[in-house]
Structure 1
């Protein structure tokens, strides 16, 4: 099976590429920059230049491809908007996939997207789900909640560096999942006929609030967190302000996610039956505790080694300069 991964340089996309290669798939990656994606080529993937917002570049990239795993999304710092990438770009990709007779299309959406039409990215994801379902392609939609990888920059690093951890006044618990485990579901879907033309939640074992994650980080790091709470009203005001400027549109659209937090409703779903359909073992899925424990163990060990090397250097007798 020849697999095209879209969004391959992203946090999730690179894990999909890694997993697919490890399982013996022939992997092609649609990339905008060969330089930025060089590491994927080193892993063994084929790189093909293309852009979702340039539909004419898609048919050549799809030649000989039998399946697509679509992990692309607009970044907050992109010059392209969420509408450009996550709607118009995806519509073009789905249409090109249909024309190329692609057998399978795996799409990542957001859990509960249909409940928040006021949040641009979630509404676009919902519309894309409908468009994909009506396209005639054999699809699988995986609905995600949050990535564990994002918690490192949001909580772990600020606590280690004695910086403020910024959280909202209200915090809806989120069922975070390791992107390596999400990639496992995506690649496995290609092998399981029972996943065709169906939608599944793919989330962690339980939802975690910001306060719970902070307490866990404090325990694992042995340090106290400096917490700064941001009123939701302030986030809404910043969102309105950034909306005035084109360069701030993506930031504004991302800030709209605060409306999800404002509800206080956990962003989670039951995984009962999902593991069975995919033929995966839930005991092999990374828990949030073990993920953060591994991170802090590695970092604290490295910090101790650096301190040891620094102390040893100070104790070395200075050599006299004969000149």
Structure 2
């Protein structure tokens, strides 16, 4: 089957591409910068230059494509905002896919997106879900709530480096999921007719609060974390301030989403039906404990190797440097 992956250079997109290639799909990737996406070509994917914000580039990318997995989303640093990428760009992509005769369309939304119309990103995701349902395409929507990959920079690295870890508001428990497992769900859904025209959760085995993750990292890294609490009111103030500036629009929209994560309400859902529907074993899904254990074991091993090399080089330098007394005697 010919598959187009949109947003293939992102955290989730590259895992979807890798998984699809491993399962024998002919994968094409829509990329804005082929040079930065060269690793996808090395994996075996075909690269087509295009942009969601340039609808004229989409028809060529969709030629001969049977299924689309859309992982793209606006980054806070992008020149385009979520309105341009996550709404106007997605509408253009869905319309182009319909015109091209695409058979399956996989879209990633946010858990409880239909319950937060006051949060721009969630409102746009919900509107895109509705637009996709009305498009006539055979779709599957996966509602996500957080990637395990993001926890490395948020918790693990600061704790290892002795930096401050910020915890916001009531620190809502979140059922984070490994992007490799999300990719497995998405690629599997393409081949399962029962998954057509369904909205499904894609979340981890349990919800973790920020403090629980910090304690896990402290134990695995054998370090004590420096914790600072950021009041929810401060987030709201920063959201209002950044809205005054053009460059701050994306930041303000993301801060609004951060308020949902800081509300104290758990972000999780049952995955029983999803695993049954897709014929997958939930025991094969990565747990947060095992994910963090793997990371810390690899990074601590690397740190020990660096310490060993540093000590060895230091000893070599000390042997080559003549002592003060021998220098005086030779003089």
Q: Give the TM-score normalised by the residue count of structure 2.
A: 0.95
Equivalent in the alignment of 1:137:
137
Task: Give distance in 2, aligned partners of 1:108 and 1:218.
Answer: 32
Q: Give the TM-score normalised by the residue count of structure 1.
A: 0.98
Equivalent in the alignment of 2:284:
284
Equivalent in the alignment of 2:300:
300
Task: Give distance in 2, aligned partners of 1:288 and 1:243.
Answer: 35
Equivalent in the alignment of 2:34:
34
Do residues 318 (structure 1) and 312 (structure 2) align?
Answer: no
Superposition pairs for residues 138-177 of structure 1, below 5 Å?
138-177=138-177
Contact 1:182 1:202 in 2 (8 A): yes
* Secondary structure, counterpart of 1:292 in structure 2: helix
Equivalent in the alignment of 2:329:
none
Contact 2:169 2:263 in 1 (8 A): no
Once the two structures are TM-superposed, the CA of residue 319 in structure 1 deviates from its matched residue by 7.7
Equivalent in the alignment of 2:257:
257
Equivalent in the alignment of 1:246:
246
Cα root mean square deviation, aligned: 0.9
Do residues 226 (structure 1) and 226 (structure 2) align?
Answer: yes
Superposition pairs for residues 105-120 of structure 1, below 5 Å?
105-120=105-120
Once the two structures are TM-superposed, the CA of residue 35 in structure 1 deviates from its matched residue by 1.2
Q: Which moved more, 1:70-79 or 1:162-171?
A: 162-171
Do residues 101 (structure 1) and 85 (structure 2) align?
Answer: no
Once the two structures are TM-superposed, the CA of residue 283 in structure 1 deviates from its matched residue by 0.7
Task: Give distance in 2, aligned partners of 1:158 and 1:119.
Answer: 29
Contact 2:235 2:259 in 1 (8 A): no
Once the two structures are TM-superposed, the CA of residue 135 in structure 1 deviates from its matched residue by 0.3
* Secondary structure, counterpart of 2:320 in structure 1: coil
* Matched residue count: 320
Equivalent in the alignment of 2:21:
21
Runs of 4+ in 1 over 2 A off after TM superposition: none
* Secondary structure, counterpart of 1:211 in structure 2: helix
Task: Give distance in 2, aligned partners of 1:35 and 1:232.
Answer: 41
* Secondary structure, counterpart of 1:310 in structure 2: helix
Structure 2 residues without counterparts, runs of 5 or longer: 323-331
Contact 2:69 2:107 in 1 (8 A): yes
Contact 1:67 1:104 in 2 (8 A): yes
* Secondary structure, counterpart of 1:147 in structure 2: coil
* Secondary structure, counterpart of 1:308 in structure 2: helix
Contact 1:232 1:258 in 2 (8 A): no
Equivalent in the alignment of 2:325:
none
Task: Give distance in 1, aligned partners of 2:198 and 2:262.
Answer: 30
Task: Give distance in 2, aligned partners of 1:207 and 1:105.
Answer: 28
* Secondary structure, counterpart of 1:257 in structure 2: helix
Equivalent in the alignment of 1:10:
10
Once the two structures are TM-superposed, the CA of residue 262 in structure 1 deviates from its matched residue by 4.0
* Secondary structure, counterpart of 2:73 in structure 1: coil
Task: Give distance in 2, aligned partners of 1:258 and 1:73.
Answer: 16
